[in-house]
Amino acid sequence: MSNELGLKVKPVTGISPEDETRVAAWINTEDYKLKNFARQALVVNPAHACQPLGAELCAHGFAETLPLVHGSQGCASYYRSTLNRHFREPAPAVSSAMSEDGAVFGGQNNLHEALENAIALYKPKMIAVFTSCMPEIIGDDVSAFIKNARQKNCVPPGFLVAHANTPSFTGSHVHGYDSMLLAILQTLTEGKAIEGRCTGKLNFLAGFDANTGNYREYKRIFHEFGIPVTFLADISEVFDSPNDGTYRIYPGGTPLDDAADSINGKATLTVAPYATSKTLVWIKEQYAGEHASMPMPLGIARTDALLLKLSELFDKPVPASLKAERGRAVDAITDAHQYMHGKRFAVYGDSDPLLGFVAFLLEMGASPVHVLCSKGSKKLERELQALLDGSPYGKAGKIYMNRDLWHLRSLLMTEPVDAIIGDTHGKFAARDAKIPLFRFGFPIFDRVNLHRRPIIGYQGVINMTTEICNKFIDIKDETCEDRFFEMMR
Ligand code: SF4
């Protein structure tokens, strides 16, 4: 065997080209799908990341806060590089850099040194500590380590250190986000509840949402309503700051004083019931004011529900500007619906957006045929099923809970669909199935600026509809016979 330079090379395997062709065809069959779905102990191309990545995103959402990974440097690089690649922005975080001796003797010394150095070098107002697999497996007591660090003066008196355990062998980035958010709010609000005080503000939780355009869109909606807000874990400026030639290590985030005072808020609202579930349970016990949980506002009906809830919580009518925007969104989908109606989709993602994508597709008369979540719960499955059952377009839909993107590939090859909604990890399956992938999830590594265009709210409906329908029209233009190549579509 020789390579393209004519040099003799030793084959890495003994697999013949004929066998390769045979297997390449076999993995597209029903027979292979059955074997693929029978596998138990192996995950291939999961549609989720590990807990600390979510914890890091959450920590970045607070002003002058430095995320600190207690664990190995390689893990820390993975979260940082994933965030870098998605946002194309720096994600400044530090690590306690545990290695072999830390794994044997525990990571206390590493953590103490990391805290001391990080405070001296990067001058944060708060450090958010979370864990990678290694300290979780060996049972590091991080809470005690932080107490000891204060006694040793590695951490100055009164300096804010929030800490969450984020074991990666369970849950996903979404659970890590929730744990870190809870820990940060517990740390910041300690002793800040004041009987009778009301900030008059809405505390808003978006959950694990890596679309900075969504954050700006939420804020615009609150502005239209005239509702003052404390946006908890606000990453919009952190990961979408202006390029003015000056590097800032902490370019944005929720001001810590505002977050601390959020315990005295008028109302607290989450649009991520799954990504903030633990935090919300605690908020209900500790926070003043009303507490509400709404679905992520993807699609018309879910946006309507959010606006009505805001109207109810703050006793304000839905502003005329937003009503007009709704009318424009309805017009946009009416103009476009024929390009999506009846189209078959595969869709995967985190629980909150997944429910929203399915709801949006059903609104458009499209059929979510394969609905997959690689870290989902029975509750999510029931909610998805209820959505599918509630629409004639949901009849063909089937839910695949705790399955990965290699399972999805088998589904695409044996029960074809027209398109996929998901994140960049689905591009391999999309290529094999020769269908488009609409990148509405996280992470998006292979397209630019998609994290800047909102997909929530009425504007999000217009954006998603435009992206999807124009792609289908592109495909028609690229593949139709000459006699059907028309100016009008
Ligand atoms: S799964 Fe564990 S080892 Fe892998 S990157 Fe996440 S924390 Fe590190």
Each of the 489 residues of the chain gets a pLDDT tens digit; together they read 778 888 888 877 778 889 999 999 999 999 999 999 999 989 999 999 999 999 999 999 999 999 999 999 999 999 999 999 999 999 999 999 999 999 999 999 999 999 999 999 999 999 999 999 999 999 999 999 999 999 999 999 999 999 999 998 999 999 999 999 999 999 999 999 999 999 999 999 999 999 999 999 999 999 999 999 999 999 999 999 999 999 999 999 999 999 999 999 999 999 999 999 999 999 999 999 999 999 999 999 999 999 999 999 999 999 999 999 999 999 999 999 999 999 999 999 999 999 999 999 999 999 999 999 999 999 999 999 999 999 999 999 999 999 999 999 999 999 999 999 999 999 999 999 999 999 999 999 999 999 999 999 999 999 999 999 999 999 999 999 999 999 999
pLDDT value of position 12: 77
How far is residue 28's CA from residue 24's CA, in Å, rounded to a whole number? 7
Chain mean position to CA 32 = 31
pLDDT of residue 4: 82
Atom number in ligand 1 closest to CA 52: 7
Whose CA is closest to 194, among 283, 265, 279, 280?
265
Sign of the CA dihedral with 414 first, then 419, 421, and 422 last:
positive
202-321: CATH, from 3.50.50.60, 3.40.190.10, 3.90.1150.10, 3.40.50.1980: 3.40.50.1980
Q: What is the CA radius of gyration of the chain?
A: 24
Amino acid at 165: N
Q: Which two tokens stand for residue 108?
A: 């206390």
For residue 290, give the amino acid letter.
E
Tell me how far apart the alpha carbons of residues 440 and 464 are, in angstroms, rounded to a whole number: 8
Furthest CA-CA distance within the chain: 83
Strands 126-131 and 160-164: parallel
The architecture (CATH level 2) of 51-189 comes to 3-Layer(aba) Sandwich (3.40)
Ligand 1 mean position to 79 CA, how many Å?
9
Q: Which of 43, 48, 50 to mutate to test the pocket of ligand 1 (most atoms within 8 A of CB)?
A: 50
Task: Provide the pLDDT for residue 6.
Answer: 86
Residues with Cβ within 6 A of ligand 1? 50, 52, 75, 78, 132-133, 168
Q: How far apart are CA 351 and CA 344, in angstroms?
A: 20
Q: How far is the CA of 75 from the centre of ligand 1 (A)?
A: 5
Q: How many residues does the chain have?
A: 489
Ligand 1 atom with least separation from CA of 78: 5
The pLDDT, as a whole number, for residue 260 is 98
CA-wise closest residue to 439 among 465, 451, 421: 421
DSSP run (H or E) holding 338: helix 320-340
Neighbours of 348 (CB within 10 A): 29
State the closest ligand 1 atom to the C-alpha of 79, by its place in the atom list counted from 1.
5
CB contact set of 365 (below 8 Å; sequence gap of 6+) = 337, 340, 341, 342, 393
Pinpoint the alpha helices (H) of 364-404: 378-389
* Dist. CA 68 → ligand 1 center (Å): 15
- Confirm if 350 and 274 have CB atoms less than 8 A apart: yes
Joined tokens for residue 245: 């030639």
Q: Which of 171, 170, 169, 147 is nearest to 159 (CA)?
A: 147
Q: How many CB atoms lie within 10 A of CB 109?
A: 14
> Which residue from 438, 298, 401 is spatially nearest to 358, judged by alpha carbons?
298
Measuring CA to CA, how many Å separate 458 from each of 66, 174, 213, 331, 472? 34, 25, 13, 11, 21
Output the pLDDT for position 17.
Answer: 87
CATH 3.40.50.1980 domain range(s) in the chain: 51-189, 202-321, 337-479
Which residue(s) pair with 2 in the sheet? 8
Those residues with Cβ within 8 angstroms of residue 424's Cβ, 6 or more apart along the chain or in another chain = 439, 443, 444, 445, 446, 447
CA-169 nearest atom, ligand 1: 1
Question: What one-character DSSP code corresponds to residue 343?
Answer: -
SS3 content of the chain, % helix, strand, coil (to 5): 50, 15, 35
Fold observed for domain 337-479: Rossmann fold (3.40.50)
Residue with the smallest CA separation from ligand 1 atom 3 is 133
Query: What separation in Å is there between the alpha carbon of 132 and the centre of ligand 1?
Result: 6
Q: Where are the alpha helices (DSSP H) in 92-211?
A: 100-105, 108-122, 133-138, 142-151, 173-189
424, 445 in Cβ contact below 8 A? Answer: yes
Phi/psi at 91 (5° precision): -125, 85
Crossing angle between the packed helical segments 300-314 and 351-363, to the nearest 10 degrees? 120
**pTM for the model:** 0.96
Q: What's the CA gap between 131 and 44, in Å, rounded?
A: 24
User: Please, are residues 319 and 293 in contact by the beta-carbon 8 Å criterion?
Assistant: no
Residue with the smallest CA separation from ligand 1 atom 7 is: 132
Atom of ligand 1 nearest to the CA of 53: 6
Tell how far the Cα of 134 is from the centroid of ligand 1, in angstroms.
8
Best of 132, 140, 169 to mutate for ligand 1, by most ligand atoms within 8 A of CB? 132
| DSSP label at residue 303 | H
First to last CA, the chain: 52
Residue nearest to atom 6 of ligand 1 (CA): 50
3-state SS assignment for residue 194: coil
Identify which of 75, 96, 166 to mutate to test ligand 1's pocket (most ligand atoms within 8 A of the CB).
Answer: 75
Q: Whole-angstrom Cα distance, residue 309 to residue 285?
A: 21
Whole-number Å distance, alpha carbon 477 to ligand 1 midpoint, is 44
Nearest-atom number in ligand 1 for the CA of 72 is 8
Residue type, 297: P
- Are 147 and 115 a contacting pair, CB within 8 Å? no
